[in-house]
Amino acid sequence: MIDFELTAEEQAMIDSAHKESLEVIRPLARYYDEHEHESPKDLIARNWQQQAEGGGSGILGLGVGASLRILENCWGDAGLMLVAPGSGLGGAAILTSGTQEQQAKFLKRFGEGEPKWGAMAMTEPGAGSDTAAIQTMAVLDNETNEWVLNGEKIFITGGQRAMDESDGLVVVWATVDKTAGRAGMKPFVVEAGTPGAHIDKVENKLGIRASDTATLILDNCRIPYENILGSPEVRKVDPSQTAGFRRAMATFDATRPIIAAMALGVGRAALDFVKDVFEKEGIPIRYGLPRHELTAMERDIMDMEASYKAALMLMLRAVWMMSQFQPNSLEASMAKAKAGIVVSRITQKAVEMMGPLGYSRKNLLEKWMRDGKINDIFEGTGQINMLIVARRILDYTREQLK
């Protein structure tokens, strides 16, 4: 039965996230945008406490309510939302690929002690969207039964907090056989404090500045054999069908709708800003009139609202399918691609419409335009997601559509 009504529980979750965004997050947003590498310690402690009370939260298996809560969090501030401690994308990979023992061993820390972060390391200086081209090697030392990791990983969201500022972990994607392409790609858990693994650089960014984006150097980094997630076996069959790659992609199917939700949070912040200004000026937005009766401003706002709603619906569908355990690769990429475009367009248009109010750092609007853009880039650029959508609708392999 098609239904758009939220449960009372979901609504309560959203309301409380909205209140927190308004009262706690928004007042901090500008400071941590202008003080890029500082940590909002009180906020982190508060998040950690909330998670302990709420029984923790992973990214996988998130339902409609949680996705809308994340949307509200990002309505507050996308950068500060990403700073929230927890197992993060690293946890998502451990949950999709790890055994019960590995999940127990690696995820336990996120429910106890001091705040900790989990991160995922995929991108390299020479491999972004083309993840099969990664060069980081994992070689098994048969004498010690350890994996030896060598390579350089960049653009790790929360990498510094995971490795330097807490007893966290990073899930590192490395190849056990460079000739095997995607089939050789495996995820490895590298815990904070492991010799040979160190954070080399933290990036200065356009937006989401509260969140650290780090480079991890792996220099003869030795980790126990058991830290590989999934099977070490390399099967040189159809590369897109290999378990290792499939797992990475399964993680994306879960995370992409969440990125869409994050994008929508920023987009709605900008939209609400514009509508608030109009309301204060006493200018109504008149729905239901023919286009020729509307002012240019009304048309712009309605276009923004309609495209926001379009992306919201695609996001909800992708999340709902995930919660029903239905395959959602196509729908997840549709949502991510659309939301990335929509948040960029809405925030850029809002800055334009608000003139001096929009461009000024006195207000947060210009910041949201900078923050929003990341959603069209990370967890697969808009173009990569379009490529995935195109392959799915055409029923094409990567060889048939490059």
Partner 1 sequence: MISFSPSEDQQMIVNMVKEFVNDHARKVYRECDESGDIPANVIDTAWQLGFIASSIPEEFEGFGGERSALTGTLIAEELAWGDLSIAMHILCPALVATPVVEMGTEEQKRQYLPSFCGDQFKVATAALIEPSYNFNPASLQTTAKPDNGGYVINGEKCYVPLAADADLLLVYANESGNTQGFIVEKGTPGLEITEREKNMGIKALATYELSLKNCKVPKENRLGGDAGCDFGRIMNLSRVALCGMAVGVARAAFEYARDYAKERHAFGEPIASRQAIAFMLAEMAIDVDATRLMTWEAAWKLDRNEDATKEASLAKMYADDMVMSVTNNAVQVLGGHGYIRDHPVELWFRNGRGFATFDGMAIV
- The residue ranges that bind partner 1 (CB under 8 A) are 1-7, 64, 287-293, 302-303, 305-307, 309-311, 313-314, 316-317, 320-321, 334, 337-338, 383, 386-387, 389-391, 393-394, 396, 400-402
Nearer to partner 1, 266 or 318 (CB): 318
Angle of helix 365-372 versus helix 26-34 axis, rounded to 10: 70
- The CB-of-338 to partner 1 minimum distance in angstroms stands at 5
Q: Which of 214, 232, 215 is CA-nearest to residue 223?
A: 232
- The CB-of-66 to partner 1 minimum distance in angstroms stands at 12
**Residues taking part in catalysis:** 379
Say whether 110 sits in a helix, a strand or coil: helix
Nearer to partner 1, 287 or 355 (CB): 287
The Cα angle at residue 120 between residues 236 and 62, in degrees rounded to 5:
100
Nearer to partner 1, 6 or 243 (CB): 6
Nearer to partner 1, 82 or 334 (CB): 334
- The CB-of-164 to partner 1 minimum distance in angstroms stands at 40
Query: Is residue 253 within 8 Å of residue 330, measured between CB atoms?
Result: no
The Cα angle at residue 62 between residues 384 and 379, in degrees rounded to 5:
20
- The CB-of-260 to partner 1 minimum distance in angstroms stands at 12
Query: Is residue 117 within 8 Å of residue 170, measured between CB atoms?
Result: no
Question: What is the phi-psi region of residue 101: left when phi exceeds 0, alpha when psi lies from -120 to 50, beta otherwise?
Answer: alpha
Query: Is residue 212 within 8 Å of residue 158, measured between CB atoms?
Result: yes
Q: Which of 65, 102, 106 is CA-nearest to residue 86?
A: 106
Nearer to partner 1, 143 or 293 (CB): 293
- The CB-of-132 to partner 1 minimum distance in angstroms stands at 18
